[in-house]
């Protein structure tokens, strides 16, 4: 299970003449099996922090290590392997492949991992049923609603039970019933399989499930609290 250390993370972006501090000297430790929600207004640095931990963007300054391995120093090949085998991503934009069905989208990562076809199909069908998409497995993304596409993206992220799931606003397009079902599924994976979750959210329903609630503002961590989850 991953122990994640973020030390003095800094990242700036330019918007015209303005310099935006997306991360401003963020130091954070994420323990194995943590269930963490990042909250804060838009532009607070939540998504940037997720992207940095997942190796999707480069730091200006600082260090990130997962299980003692410096993510910020990995070359493209080892970094791709780390993401493929140990990290599940849930993006705001879904990032589904338009020409593939829901089942094929869920199977895609497992196919790259080399999982046999029969096992891929079994796992993908089971997880699609788990997220409430039973009977829709052959539909392509354009034939699904936004909420249904989000559930396909979630199924793809968790189907192979990665050590770490990074989720960016995973309930943004879900109704309250679907959001609750999704968070219960996340909690089951966390409690029964030790999957570590780091979730950015504006959703109070999601925050209630977190063991740790980290609040961010202007690229800084302003509070980090242990709380009783629902």
Number of CB atoms found within 10 A of residue 212's CB: 18
Condensed to tens digits (0 to 9), the pLDDT of residues 156-204 reads 998 988 889 999 998 887 888 888 888 888 898 888 888 899 999 988 8
Neighbouring residues of 178: CB distance < 8 A, sequence distance ≥ 6 = 132, 147, 151, 171
Separation of alpha carbons 59 and 48, rounded Å: 10
Query: Of all helices (H) and strands (E), which one includes residue 63?
Result: strand 61-66
DSSP output for 160-171: T--SEEEEESTT
Three-point CA angle 57, 161, 74, nearest 5°: 30
Separation of alpha carbons 69 and 165, rounded Å: 17
Summarize the confidence of residues 110-129 as an average pLDDT.
94
Domains of the chain, earliest start first: 4-226 (3.40.50.300)
Strands 212-217 and 35-39 turn out to be: parallel
Q: What is the pTM of this model?
A: 0.91
CB 163 within 8 A of CB 189: no
Q: Is 158 helix (H, G, I), strand (E, B) or coil?
A: helix
* pLDDT at residue 197, as a whole number: 95
Number of CB atoms found within 10 A of residue 176's CB: 10
Residue 66: half-sphere exposure toward Cβ, Cα within 13 Å: 19
Condensed to tens digits (0 to 9), the pLDDT of residues 60-77 reads 999 999 988 899 999 999
Q: Is the dihedral of CA 69, 43, 23, 46 positive or negative?
A: negative
Summarize the confidence of residues 42-49 as an average pLDDT.
93
């Amino acid at each position: 299970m991953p122990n994640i250390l973020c030390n003095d993370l800094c990242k700036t972006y330019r918007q015209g003449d303005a310099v935006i501090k997306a991360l401003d000297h963020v130091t954070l430790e994420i323990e194995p099996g943590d269930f963490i929600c990042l909250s804060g207004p838009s532009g607070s640095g939540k998504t940037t922090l997720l992207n940095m931990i997942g190796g999707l963007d480069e730091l200006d300054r600082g260090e990130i290590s997962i299980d003692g391995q410096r993510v910020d120093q990995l070359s493209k090949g080892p970094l791709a392997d780390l993401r493929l085998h140990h990290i599940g991503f849930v993006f705001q934009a879904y990032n589904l492949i338009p020409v593939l069905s829901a089942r094929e989208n869920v199977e895609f990562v497992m196919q790259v991992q080399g999982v046999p076809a029969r096992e891929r199909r079994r796992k993908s069908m089971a997880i699609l049923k788990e997220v409430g998409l039973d009977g829709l497995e052959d539909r392509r993304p354009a034939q699904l609603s936004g909420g249904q596409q989000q559930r396909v993206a979630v199924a793809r992220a968790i189907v192979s039970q990665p050590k770490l799931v990074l989720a960016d606003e995973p309930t943004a397009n879900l109704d309250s019933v679907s959001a609750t079902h999704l968070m219960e599924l996340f909690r089951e994976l966390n409690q029964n399989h030790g999957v570590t979750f780091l979730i950015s959210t504006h959703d109070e329903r999601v925050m209630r499930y977190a063991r740790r609630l980290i609040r961010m503002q202007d690229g800084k961590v302003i509070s980090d609290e242990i709380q009783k989850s629902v």
